[in-house]
Chain A
């Protein structure tokens, strides 16, 4: 899981320039609207009349906004709901049918079945609700105008603002109810699909319990749980396309427990039903429901501290570096070299005991990548270590440097690995200026290592000539888990935000276009919004003056030329006027234009929060707020545009 979204709302508004973009787009739209209105009106009535008409329209907006009455808005909303009730039922029926069919293809099997479920269900819900939203809102007002039923509405004391907002509220309500039902059904579908249990394939006699000696089983394997003292050679029955193995583990208090391994992204609680009367080894056990597959981790990621980055790397000599390039150009990770001074330092803030569900045992989750230059010991994974340090300003000589003992671990690739760090750290070191080091100190994680919530975590790779890949999101403190159900609702809030944006867009378009044209235009804008991130990327790349940053293939015009002529991307364009024109169109017209336009529409791609659920992470409050703010602001803008378009439209001239 790659988390790129670390922004707070204030960062997004101020640092990333969302507020400035909003102001800029608002001003551009307002000026364009006034100019357009004036030009059209001038053609019809002459410039002086046009000036009066435009001014009057603008000033009438104030009473039209202030004079809105809830009863009228709700009347229009209720009408919109009743009008679309039939489509609501049909859409719901389609979703239920889709679930029924999906049940044949999506089973509880596979490595991480919950990911398949979440991916499918969110995709289906997003597509279905978006189609519903665009259909109801694209045709409603144009149909009213076409059938002239609008005559009996606008001849009542109803303001244009009430008609536009009322429809938005109505469609939003019916869409929200649809989304709630779809969400509820899909949640039940997923939980039922994933739910399963197992039985033992045979009784585990004493000889089937394999002792763990020096960390290995008799057949030379690492046990699945490092605490294991026995591991069973008996598996569970196969269910949902997987089996589990059992182990007897010794707990820190010396007691023994029986656990099942983590397979297909989950484990099961195990209850001993019958034990061997002599050795007390479990013979028969009962398995509970799956655990650990539907979770919502609450991570605390590293964050920038002043001028220092959230994650910084040093090379083999200990000097700052961007990380080693291991040759995988698309790899998200940056690599540090093993067996050298190369380190990765993660800077954490806000680490307080109150944030952790269990402050006595702090969980550190690692999602590291490994790049091997040699096979090494095939029985062992790549070894690494972490070290915790308090944060001391260079100029501060009064505060002692406190650091924990180095904590070694074996890396587990392709999964989230959890290291449990005890709050009380033994064998720590305290180094104060002008005093000898105090070693073997017992340190408190929160009081000594992170006294003001700030902590540096250093990661090193121990194995020589092996490389460890790190990224900002690949190491985080796991404060606890939130409710998966609540996280699921938050995921659906992303779809809800997208639905609101689509409804508002379609309503605004429907105030001056016919239904089918609204449908096509709205779909076009949504597709454009989905591609906005890519468009900006292409524009920045092609328009960059850095030749190395330029991507192959050029802009849209050049791409079209290459497509038509079947020309390879790397092949240079033939010199001449045609190439100059293509370059001019791309660099001076299309790309700057498309890039500018991309700031006027929401990045619809960002509304999809399914990955957070699929990979078991709590959807960040700030991310959710950014999505909702984006949708509400866009919807409000569309309402204003819709109001002016409807207000200035001759209803009976259609």
Chain B
């Protein structure tokens, strides 16, 4: 089990009572299902269908999927903003409705849902109070985070005067106010300029290096590819793909060879003399697909073969993996 945040008071430290709890598993869902119903209890939308997921400590995990695929629903279920229709989910071995789990969680919502009449300093002070932090710790943490997200010059301006990018930055700062062990980022680079996007990705990598677990959902596949260790691809509420990014993007039925110092003749007869040539073989590996291609392939396949799982990874159709 990861240690409680340094800012949490002694009395607020999590006490783990779940004997089955594996401290290396930060998030676990079993058959997690969410059905949205109308006022009369009639099912309207099946937003998430039997999601089984394990997210391990220290990894950067990406949730991918088109609009309406169930990414945000998953995040909301994990945070206790929604109640599951069936199945279960735990964070740090605790039910998602247990507020004490939030001591170790930082959450950056899709839009920065912040109080626009507060300044940046007041915002961080407010959220720091919600973690029951003493005033000195709040002040110190707020100053450090404002500096980190580059808003020192605007720290006393009310958020209503902030641009979207600035609001995202202060939103990120509030997500980190408690030095969380698990960071949930919903579209973290949305609204950021290229420099801000780069800084956000650097920050995610920095969090990973600090041993923190990061779960992010994003439409920007290049961002996910850059920072995520593992990804899950959802489509219409179903898990379509789950695995390490480098493995998922590997084209398994092809090889690529990189050589050095070959003559022109040898180049011409490369296929015949590869084994006998005096060239030094540097690397033999499978070429990499792009995450964008993988994503689009999964979506196309899901539309033609609804309900199937791992369709791209079967290796019998388009040759990826």
* B1-43 Cβ-contact flags toward A at 8 Å (1 or 0): 0000000000010000000000000000000000011000100
Stretch of B56-64, B129-137, B231-239 contacting A (4+ beta carbons < 8 Å): B129-137
> How far is the CB of A643 from the nearest CB of chain B, in Å?
13
- Is B82 touching A653 in the complex (CB atoms < 8 A)? yes
User: Which of A79, A147, A154 is B80 in contact with, Cβ under 8 Å?
Assistant: A154
Stretch of B102-110, B219-227, B253-261, B267-275 contacting A (4+ beta carbons < 8 Å): B102-110
Q: For A79, what are the chain B residues with a Cβ–Cβ distance below 8 Å?
A: 115, 118, 126
Interface of A is mostly: helix
**In the complex, A35→B230 CA distance in Å?**
45
Interface residue? B99 (CB, 8 A)? yes
Chain A: interface residue count, which band?
Answer: 20 to 34
* New contact pairs (20) apart from A155-B81, A158-B99, CB-CB < 8 Å: A44-B37, A44-B41, A45-B85, A71-B129, A72-B130, A74-B129, A75-B129, A79-B115, A82-B117, A82-B118, A83-B117, A152-B114, A154-B79, A154-B81, A156-B131, A156-B178, A157-B99, A157-B100, A157-B103, A652-B82
* B268-301 Cβ-contact flags toward A at 8 Å (1 or 0): 0000000000000000000000000000000000
A44: nearest chain-B partner, CB-CB: B41
* B76-104 Cβ-contact flags toward A at 8 Å (1 or 0): 10011111011000000000000110110
- Contacts A78-B126, A652-B82: A157 and B109 contacting too (C-beta < 8 A)? no
Residues of A50-76 whose CB lies within 8 A of B: 69, 71-72, 74-75
- Contacts A74-B129, A653-B36: A151 and B109 contacting too (C-beta < 8 A)? yes
- Is A651 touching B81 in the complex (CB atoms < 8 A)? yes
**In the complex, A310→B122 CA distance in Å?**
61
Interface residue? A159 (CB, 8 A)? yes
Interface residue? A43 (CB, 8 A)? yes
- Contacts A149-B114, A652-B81: A72 and B132 contacting too (C-beta < 8 A)? yes
Interface residue? B153 (CB, 8 A)? no
Interface residue? A177 (CB, 8 A)? no
- Is B41 touching A43 in the complex (CB atoms < 8 A)? yes
- Is B81 touching A157 in the complex (CB atoms < 8 A)? no
Chain B: interface residue count, which band?
Answer: 35 or more
> How far is the CB of B171 from the nearest CB of chain A, in Å?
8
A654: nearest chain-B partner, CB-CB: B81
Interface residue? B202 (CB, 8 A)? no
User: Which of B41, B102, B113, B114 is A156 in contact with, Cβ under 8 Å?
Assistant: B102
Q: For A151, what are the chain B residues with a Cβ–Cβ distance below 8 Å?
A: 79, 81, 107, 109, 113
Interface residue? A546 (CB, 8 A)? no
Residues of A328-350 whose CB lies within 8 A of B: none
- Is B113 touching A149 in the complex (CB atoms < 8 A)? yes
Q: For B41, what are the chain A residues with a Cβ–Cβ distance below 8 Å?
A: 43-44
- Is B82 touching A650 in the complex (CB atoms < 8 A)? yes
User: Which of B80, B115, B132 is A83 in contact with, Cβ under 8 Å?
Assistant: B115
B105: nearest chain-A partner, CB-CB: A155
- Contacts A156-B127, A158-B130, A652-B82: A149 and B102 contacting too (C-beta < 8 A)? no
4 pairs of A and B residues whose beta carbons are closest in the complex: A75-B129, A652-B81, A156-B130, A148-B113
**In the complex, A505→B103 CA distance in Å?**
31
> How far is the CB of B32 from the nearest CB of chain A, in Å?
15
B8: nearest chain-A partner, CB-CB: A157
Interface residue? B111 (CB, 8 A)? yes
Q: For B111, what are the chain A residues with a Cβ–Cβ distance below 8 Å?
A: 148
**In the complex, A187→B126 CA distance in Å?**
37
Interface residue? B189 (CB, 8 A)? no
Residues of A22-66 whose CB lies within 8 A of B: 43-45
Q: For A158, what are the chain B residues with a Cβ–Cβ distance below 8 Å?
A: 99, 102, 130
Residues of A147-184 whose CB lies within 8 A of B: 147-159
* A601-626 Cβ-contact flags toward B at 8 Å (1 or 0): 00000000000000000000000000
* A131-160 Cβ-contact flags toward B at 8 Å (1 or 0): 000000000000000011111111111110
Q: List 30 A-B contacts (CB under 8 A).
A: A44-B37, A45-B86, A69-B132, A71-B129, A71-B132, A72-B132, A74-B129, A75-B126, A75-B129, A78-B126, A79-B115, A79-B126, A148-B109, A148-B111, A151-B81, A151-B113, A152-B107, A152-B109, A152-B113, A152-B114, A153-B130, A154-B80, A156-B130, A157-B103, A157-B132, A158-B130, A650-B81, A651-B82, A652-B76, A653-B36
* A353-381 Cβ-contact flags toward B at 8 Å (1 or 0): 00000000000000000000000000000
> How far is the CB of A626 from the nearest CB of chain B, in Å?
37
Residues of A67-103 whose CB lies within 8 A of B: 69, 71-72, 74-75, 78-79, 82-83
Interface residue? B302 (CB, 8 A)? no
**In the complex, A24→B315 CA distance in Å?**
70
- Is B132 touching A147 in the complex (CB atoms < 8 A)? no
**In the complex, A153→B103 CA distance in Å?**
12
Interface residue? B174 (CB, 8 A)? yes
**In the complex, A418→B79 CA distance in Å?**
72
User: Which of B37, B85, B131 is A157 in contact with, Cβ under 8 Å?
Assistant: B131
B178: nearest chain-A partner, CB-CB: A156
Q: For A653, what are the chain B residues with a Cβ–Cβ distance below 8 Å?
A: 36, 82
> How far is the CB of B4 from the nearest CB of chain A, in Å?
11
- Is B117 touching A75 in the complex (CB atoms < 8 A)? no
Q: For A154, what are the chain B residues with a Cβ–Cβ distance below 8 Å?
A: 79-81
- Contacts A83-B117, A151-B109, A152-B109: A159 and B99 contacting too (C-beta < 8 A)? yes
> How far is the CB of B136 from the nearest CB of chain A, in Å?
13
> How far is the CB of A78 from the nearest CB of chain B, in Å?
7
B36: nearest chain-A partner, CB-CB: A653
- Is A155 touching B79 in the complex (CB atoms < 8 A)? yes
> How far is the CB of A562 from the nearest CB of chain B, in Å?
38
Q: For B12, what are the chain A residues with a Cβ–Cβ distance below 8 Å?
A: 157
**In the complex, A151→B175 CA distance in Å?**
12
Residues of B118-158 whose CB lies within 8 A of A: 118, 122, 126-127, 129-133
- Contacts A152-B109, A152-B174: A157 and B130 contacting too (C-beta < 8 A)? yes
**In the complex, A152→B126 CA distance in Å?**
11
**In the complex, A82→B133 CA distance in Å?**
20
**In the complex, A591→B133 CA distance in Å?**
54
Q: For B129, what are the chain A residues with a Cβ–Cβ distance below 8 Å?
A: 71-72, 74-75, 78
B109: nearest chain-A partner, CB-CB: A151
**In the complex, A74→B129 CA distance in Å?**
8
**In the complex, A151→B107 CA distance in Å?**
9
> How far is the CB of B35 from the nearest CB of chain A, in Å?
9
> How far is the CB of B142 from the nearest CB of chain A, in Å?
14
Q: For A74, what are the chain B residues with a Cβ–Cβ distance below 8 Å?
A: 129
Q: For B133, what are the chain A residues with a Cβ–Cβ distance below 8 Å?
A: 71
- Is B102 touching A155 in the complex (CB atoms < 8 A)? yes
**In the complex, A151→B122 CA distance in Å?**
18
**In the complex, A155→B96 CA distance in Å?**
10
> How far is the CB of B127 from the nearest CB of chain A, in Å?
6
Q: For B115, what are the chain A residues with a Cβ–Cβ distance below 8 Å?
A: 79, 83, 149
**In the complex, A79→B123 CA distance in Å?**
10
Residue in A45, A83, A151, A650 with the greatest tally of chain B CB atoms within 10 Å: A151
> How far is the CB of B185 from the nearest CB of chain A, in Å?
12
> How far is the CB of A495 from the nearest CB of chain B, in Å?
28
A156: nearest chain-B partner, CB-CB: B130
Q: For B126, what are the chain A residues with a Cβ–Cβ distance below 8 Å?
A: 75, 78-79
- Is A650 touching B132 in the complex (CB atoms < 8 A)? no
> How far is the CB of A160 from the nearest CB of chain B, in Å?
8
**In the complex, A70→B113 CA distance in Å?**
24
User: Which of B37, B82, B130 is A75 in contact with, Cβ under 8 Å?
Assistant: B130
**In the complex, A75→B128 CA distance in Å?**
9
**In the complex, A636→B93 CA distance in Å?**
34
Q: For B113, what are the chain A residues with a Cβ–Cβ distance below 8 Å?
A: 147-152
**In the complex, A43→B40 CA distance in Å?**
9
Q: For B174, what are the chain A residues with a Cβ–Cβ distance below 8 Å?
A: 152
> How far is the CB of B316 from the nearest CB of chain A, in Å?
40
**In the complex, A493→B172 CA distance in Å?**
45
> How far is the CB of A120 from the nearest CB of chain B, in Å?
35
> How far is the CB of B310 from the nearest CB of chain A, in Å?
30
Q: For A152, what are the chain B residues with a Cβ–Cβ distance below 8 Å?
A: 107, 109, 113-114, 127, 171, 174
**In the complex, A150→B111 CA distance in Å?**
12
